[in-house]
Amino acid sequence: MNNRRDFIKKAGMGIAAARVVGCTNSQSQNVSKIESSEDGYSTAGTIKAHRKMEKVQLKVKAPLHVPYNSQNTPEEKGSGHNFFRSEAFTHNPFTINCGGISGSPIIMDTNGKFVGFMNSYGFENSVFSFDGKETLTVQVPEGQELFIDESGKGDEAWKAYNTVMMRRLRFEPFKEVPKFWTDVEYCTWVEQKMLSKVRKGHFKLLSHDFIKTYIEKINEFGYPKGKLTLDHGWGIFPDGSIESGFGSWHADPKTFPDFRKTMGLITDNGFTPGLWIAFPKVHHNSAIAKKYPDMLGDWRSTAATKPNAERWLNPRADIYEYASEVIHRFYKMGVMKFKIDMSYNTKSDMIFIHKELYRAAKDIDKTIEMEFHVPDIFFAKHADVIRTNDIWINDDYDWKSRVKMHYEVTRKSCPGRGINLDHIGGNNTPGINEATWLEHMDLYHGKTGYPLVSVLPHYFGKTCIEKTGDFLWNYDKGTKNIISDFYL
């Protein structure tokens, strides 16, 4: 075997049909060297850039599957169409915004032809460009490598890519996990929205009594115990605005006079406490920004640049110390699961933040569950669980397509990590009824991952209560398989 790297062996046509064009060094016109090994993978090859820049051209058939592309138009709201592209585009999958959910830096065409980036080095100039017809041009900077499989095996090529990338990025798939990670989960978010009577009222509804009532209803329905996560609204808002809560991770003393007591209430009822925290955003009036201004990063956390808007966390600041302080504060109260949200900035920034958040949590207790919503192979090492991210159910849109695509992108882009089947019934309370609830839940039947209930089903009738109970208990008494096995 070649000692330099453990590369994939090419076979058949393999990479031979790929063309290298547009070299920046005119003195070197040869096709990039294909390095092979005897590692047993037999359908793919790699291209390694040996000059400052190369462009590799592939003949492809649209639509192209682009799992990293979570950006969508208003017309696509509620669908999964943004993950498929037939029109011309130019994307850098390393610098694109994460959005709601953003997968690995790969492209697969309709016939199963597969190409994926293999290095983070040179990410600034690693670009996919499709002409809208039949040519995909991949810009490969010096130090970058491509995994290409033209055999048409599609998902098998993706699995092979995942296997190589796990070894390359030095992480092992989970074989065993702490028992509570596999439990069903309850999250307060959509329940808050259901009970809100005024715009943005759901951010200020959480309280000790809210949690007490929520637990009582779960117990009344006879549902299995599991994790119970407090979502957005448990913390303080220093200047009164919702935005000032980003970076102010202290429980609101008005609604939670004794937060430790609330965590004890959850534990005493047989649940594992969890907290939603939007670490990637920070506001200039937040507690952490007042104490450590260097935490303030890019303004562009909202559509328009506003002096009073929340900002992105500075990915070059001392995030580890910040995260350690916050996570340990609540860990001492019994919190064992953290739902990290708002990772919507560019991937090249988010990966630094995820890495430090994860390291901070694991240095406190390796059994803490850290959940994120960016299922990218380059992020997988820095996560325990990836959520499929809640769906905006609206019958004016193909929301079922979005459910399926969020699941597929999560399962295929984050191998060896857990999956949270997020928010049964969806996130759009006006769109939830008995029919949509049952349809959504059925889409999760038999899927890898643990189910999450947010809004409780009694609003939608007795049938929803009973069928949800059957679904949760069937999962709870079953194998509880939550780990994606999408690799060879």
Domain boundaries, the chain: 19-164, 179-476
- Measured on CA atoms in the order 210, 211, 214, 216, is the torsion positive or negative? negative
Give residue for tokens 């398989």.
481
Q: What percent of the chain has pLDDT over 70?
A: 87
In angstroms, the CA 42 to CA 20 distance is 22
Please choose, from the candidates 225, 357, 347, the residue with its C-alpha nearest in 3D space to the C-alpha of residue 278.
Answer: 357
Q: What is the pLDDT of residue 76?
A: 64
Residue 149 has pLDDT above 50, yes or no: yes
Q: Across residues 142-153, what is the average pLDDT?
A: 95
Give the residue, 200 or 32, on which the prediction is more confident. 200
What's the pTM value of the predicted model, to 2 decimals?
A: 0.91
Q: Across residues 419-425, what is the average pLDDT?
A: 96
Residue type, 25: N
Residue type, 158: W
Residue 430 has pLDDT above 50, yes or no: yes
In angstroms, the CA 420 to CA 126 distance is 31
Q: What is the pLDDT of residue 310?
A: 87
Q: Across residues 146-172, what is the average pLDDT?
A: 97
Supply 445's token pair.
């039947």
Q: Across residues 116-143, what is the average pLDDT?
A: 96
Q: Across residues 439-455, what is the average pLDDT?
A: 97
Residue 32 has pLDDT above 80, yes or no: no
Residue 359 has pLDDT above 70, yes or no: yes
The CATH H-level (homologous superfamily) assignment of domain 179-476 is Aldolase class I (3.20.20.70)
328 burial (CB, 10 Å; 0-12 / 13-18 / 19+) is middle
Q: What is the pLDDT of residue 44?
A: 67
In angstroms, the CA 12 to CA 379 distance is 32
Beta-strand (E) ranges in 60-192?
64-65, 84-85, 89-91, 106-108, 114-117, 127-130, 135-141, 145-149, 184-187
CATH architecture of 19-164: Sandwich (2.60)
Q: Across residues 111-129, what is the average pLDDT?
A: 97
Using 50, 70 and 90 to split pLDDT, how confident is the model at 309? confident
Residue 71 has pLDDT above 60, yes or no: yes
Write the CA distances from 237 to 65, 190, 194, 244, 287, integer angstroms. Answer: 41, 20, 22, 5, 9
Give the residue, 71 or 225, on which the prediction is more confident. 225
Mean pLDDT rounded to a whole number for the chain: 89
